[in-house]
Chain A
Amino acid sequence: MQVNNEFKPTIVAFCCNWCSYAGADLSGTNRLNYPANVKIIRVPCSCRVNPMFILRAFQRGADGVIICGCHPGDCHYTTGNYYARRRMTLLFSMLDYLGIEKGRTRVEWVSAAEGAKFAATMNEFVETVTKLGENKRLEDLRCKN
């Protein structure tokens, strides 16, 4: 496949309301840059992320999906991030089997105080996905106008 230098991947980031969304806000407050490709969807907890949402994102043409939650043990709802971790481990290995490389999916723990970590994670993730190139595997072209 030809690597297009202009390729700008579409990245969907699911952030839990209590830690990671606040962490993302903090990286904004501190003016820490990360690429505009990352679009954040706020969810109450990482355990609200249904594997269906990720499949849907890939179906609609996302090139990478990242789920951010509180650090293990720090979940606002006590156990939510453990569920998310288990579910995503399963889903990501299945996606890998389907040909969606592991680099396109990630679970990351970002606390409300880790604005710098959020920006660094996003920079790194966008870089990884950019290298992997466009995602065609699950994309449903009928969904495009």
Chain B
Amino acid sequence: MQRIGVFVCWCGTNIAATVDVKAVAEALGKEPGVVFATDYQYMCSQAGQDMIRDAIQEHNLGGVVICSCSPRMHETTFRKTAEKAGLNPYMVEIANIREQCSWIHKDMPTATEKAIILGRAAIAKVHLNAPLTAGESPVTKRALVIGGGIAGIQTALDIADAGFPVDIVEKKPTIGGKMTQIDKTFPTLDCAACILTPKMVEAAQNENIRIFSYSEVDSVKGFVGNFHATIRRKARYVKEDVCTGCGLCTEKCPQKKVPNEFNLGLDNRRAIYIPFAQAVPKVATIDPNYCTMLKSGKCGVCAKVCTAGAIDYKQKDELIEEDYGAIVVATGFNPIKLDHYDEYAYSQSPDVVTSLEFERLMNAAGPTAGTLLRPSDGEHPHTLVFVQCVGSRETRDCGKPYCSKICCMYTAKHAMLCREKYPDTEVYVFYIDVRTPGKNFDEFYRRAVEEYGVHYIKGMVGKVVPENGKLKVQASDLLSNEQIHIDADMVILAAAIEPDESARSIATMLTASMDTNDFFTEAHPKLRPVESPTAGIFLSGVCQGPKDIPETVAQAGAAASKVIGLLAKDHLMCNPCVAEANELMCNGCSSCEKVCPYGAITYSDKEFPGPNRTRVLRRVASVNPAVCQGCGACTVACPSGAMDLKGFSTSQIMAEVDAICK
């Protein structure tokens, strides 16, 4: 029997307010094997840890039970403390009496009773703990960045700067992401392209960065330090290394009626296209859905005009296999579809546009060369109505419950730019709240109101009706409690943003968790904001939650520094809580091998003592501890009970069950 020490933490008043910590320590002190039990205000503090260390040495403890917060919080802390005192770190068990007891129960006797039972279960388990030693696994010193927007580019640049090779996988024909479509950025009103395109070029020229544009990640296997990814380079029917990007083919292609996604369908492009002038890589791509040559075999104009001979109609998707040590998710966002918001007449009138479409209409490289014109008749608009929170902070099913964060600021920007460029316009902004937390944000918003004379009206637009070439806007002013009618020329909707549609399948592929809105979950909302709970997966940009460009760049840098920290290591400590086969009980049936998701189980013939002093050869399973991730599927599949999981052994869990049901 182990000599066990029990340490009950007050966590200030977090635990002590609802759990009688002294009573818990006293009750647990009477459990079999417990030779020392105490309580302290903050066990995780230096003084608390010293107390644990001293007690281990003084009482020659063989096992430690800490009744405190969740093991997800401080298990590692207390394991390190035990290690410093000379105890194997895996002889520490945590009873979660904060998140799963004191914080959910209000009644002290009930909470105390439950805390004692949870403590008992931990004591019962620690009796059966065995010292474990972590093995090591090598680290592949290369990172994969999924998504080539500003988040992905910044992460890749920072990792590459530290000397590690990085691959960017971008599903579109060019990197750059949403920022390429933006005209100016708030609150400085500097040109988005002027600050982004040099970064795109820098990424392309950096010898440590490889860009796989028009590519997708097909599959990812493995674990931290040892991922194996398959990247699908979609056929663009143009040889990337031969195309010079002269653009002649995009002028001569006879298929002219393809909606241009870069301008959100506000104008058309050809079937062979370069998304925009500063695209990286600047290579043409054939859209197989529209190319007549690919569809019917008749045309071939682009191949005829291409002097470099880059066109290849027979190109096939190419699969690339590569090993990575770390993966960064930077999949970004999209504005939501506005099908469910027909009260704003988005589908009925071309003059009702989303903010991103408005961004293109104001952009010098956009469909109107930067002159603001009504999409319906090309006339100059005089009255513009901006509607905020379209789909954000929405309790209906079709909307998003969260604040999209960027809309207040870009609407102020649009309104300001509009008034600056066209002083003859009247600009109205309907809002629920104006949210401007950020450096120089509120000053910016106030400038829009005070200097540029933008009419901000607190209230929501009820309906937009297209009538006689105008948009009749019906709204209510919540402050004066009046109904307002405005005959507008254009209505601009600040659509909520949502994670890119590929995020869900990528999360499944990486086994990284997501929240209910499909944003990636971070390992800790405050202390580990750029790491996914899955080791080796990092988060950058809006895929983790709505944020603006400076925040995205900051997070991208943070993700990069975490990746660099990982790649700088030659070896990683493996999780020692892995499966182990008892060779004497194993009969080599292969049940475990079939359920193992990692292929960690192999079989070999081994000699065992047989009857009458003979030796017999038997096929037995063995687990590769560097590959096993410790899920425990095999332990249940094994019909003879030969497979067990260290740290979560059958006897340990049974002991916990017994302690709880006692």
Residues of A near any B CB (own CB < 8 A): 10, 12, 18-19, 21-22, 24-29, 31-34, 36, 39-45, 47-53, 56-57, 60-62, 70, 73-80, 83, 87, 111-114, 119, 143, 145
Contact A43 B648 (CB under 8 A): yes
- Tell me the complex Cα distance, A87–B633, Å: 11
Known: A40-B96, A77-B597. A83 touches B633 (CB 8 A): yes
A47 with B104: CB separation less than 8 A: no
A25-B70, A47-B632, A112-B533 given as contacts; is B100 within 8 A of A40 (CB)? yes
Q: Which A residue sits closest to B598, measured CB to CB?
A: A77
Q: Which 10 A-B pairs have the closest CB atoms?
A: A48-B632, A28-B99, A60-B661, A77-B631, A113-B515, A28-B103, A47-B633, A25-B99, A45-B631, A39-B660
Which chain B positions have C-beta within 8 A of A33? 104-106
Any A CB within 8 A of the CB of B352: no
Please classify how large the interface on chain B is, using the bins under 10, 10 to 19, 20 to 34, 35 or more.
35 or more
Residue-by-residue, is B334-349 near A (CB-CB < 8 Å gives 1, otherwise 0)?
0000000000000000
- What residue of chain A has the Cβ atom nearest to residue B111's Cβ? A36
Taking A25-B100, A56-B657 as contacts, is the C-beta distance between A36 and B110 under 8 angstroms? yes
Residue B636 at the A interface, CB < 8 A?
yes
State the Cβ distance, B273 to closest chain A Cβ, in Å: 35
Residues on A with C-beta less than 8 A from B632 are 43-45, 47-48, 80
A10, closest chain B residue (CB): B661
The interface residues of chain B lying within 8 Å CB-to-CB of A143 are 658
Kindly provide the distance from the CB of A84 to the nearest chain B CB, expressed in whole angstroms.
9
Known A21-B70, A50-B650; 18 more pairs at CB < 8 Å: A12-B660, A22-B72, A22-B533, A25-B100, A28-B99, A32-B104, A47-B636, A48-B631, A48-B633, A48-B653, A52-B654, A57-B660, A74-B513, A76-B511, A76-B534, A77-B511, A80-B632, A113-B515
Q: Tell which of B98, B111, B595 touches A83, judged by Cβ atoms closer than 8 Å.
A: B595
- For residue B593, CB closer than 8 A to chain A, the reply is no
Assuming the A-B contacts A31-B103, A112-B513, are A73 and B633 also in contact, with contact meaning beta carbons closer than 8 angstroms in the complex?
no
Q: Once the chains bind, are B636 and A49 in contact (CB under 8 Å)?
A: yes
Q: Does B388 contact A (CB under 8 A)?
A: no
**Residues in B whose Cβ lies below 8 Å from that of A145:** 662
User: If A44-B577, A50-B635 touch, does A31 touch B595 (CB 8 Å cutoff)?
Assistant: no
Of all chain B residues, which has the CB nearest A48?
B632
User: Chain A residues with Cβ under 8 A from B101's Cβ?
Assistant: 28, 36
**CB distance B657 to A57 under 8 Å?**
yes
A-contact bits for B88-111, CB 8 A (1 contact / 0 none)? 000000001011110111110011
B554 within 8 A of A: no
Closest A residue by C-beta to B577 = A44
| Of B72, B513, B650, the contact of A25 (CB 8 Å cutoff) | B72
A43/B661 in contact, CB under 8 A: no
Pick out which of these stretches binds chain A: B47-55, B113-121, B178-186, B401-409: B113-121
Contact B513 A113 (CB under 8 A): yes
Contacting pair A28 B100 (CB below 8 A):
yes
A80 in contact with B597 (CB, 8 Å) = yes
From A12, A52, A77, A114, contact of B661 by CB (8 A): A12
Output the nearest chain A residue to B519 by Cβ-Cβ distance.
A113
* Interfacial residues of chain B within 569-615, with CB under 8 A of chain A in the complex: 577, 595, 597
A45 proximity list for chain B (CB < 8 A): 631-633
Closest Cβ–Cβ distance, residue A25 to chain B (whole Å): 4
A26–chain B nearest beta-carbon distance, Å: 8
24 CB contacts below 8 A, A to B, read A10-B660, A12-B657, A12-B661, A27-B99, A28-B100, A28-B103, A36-B101, A36-B104, A36-B105, A36-B111, A39-B121, A42-B71, A44-B632, A47-B595, A47-B633, A48-B631, A49-B636, A50-B635, A74-B513, A76-B513, A76-B534, A80-B597, A80-B631, A113-B515
Report the minimal beta-carbon distance from A22 to chain B, rounded to whole angstroms: 6
Are A52 and B103 in contact, CB atoms less than 8 angstroms apart?
Answer: no
Tell whether A52 pairs with B511 under 8 Å between CB atoms, given A29-B103, A41-B656. no
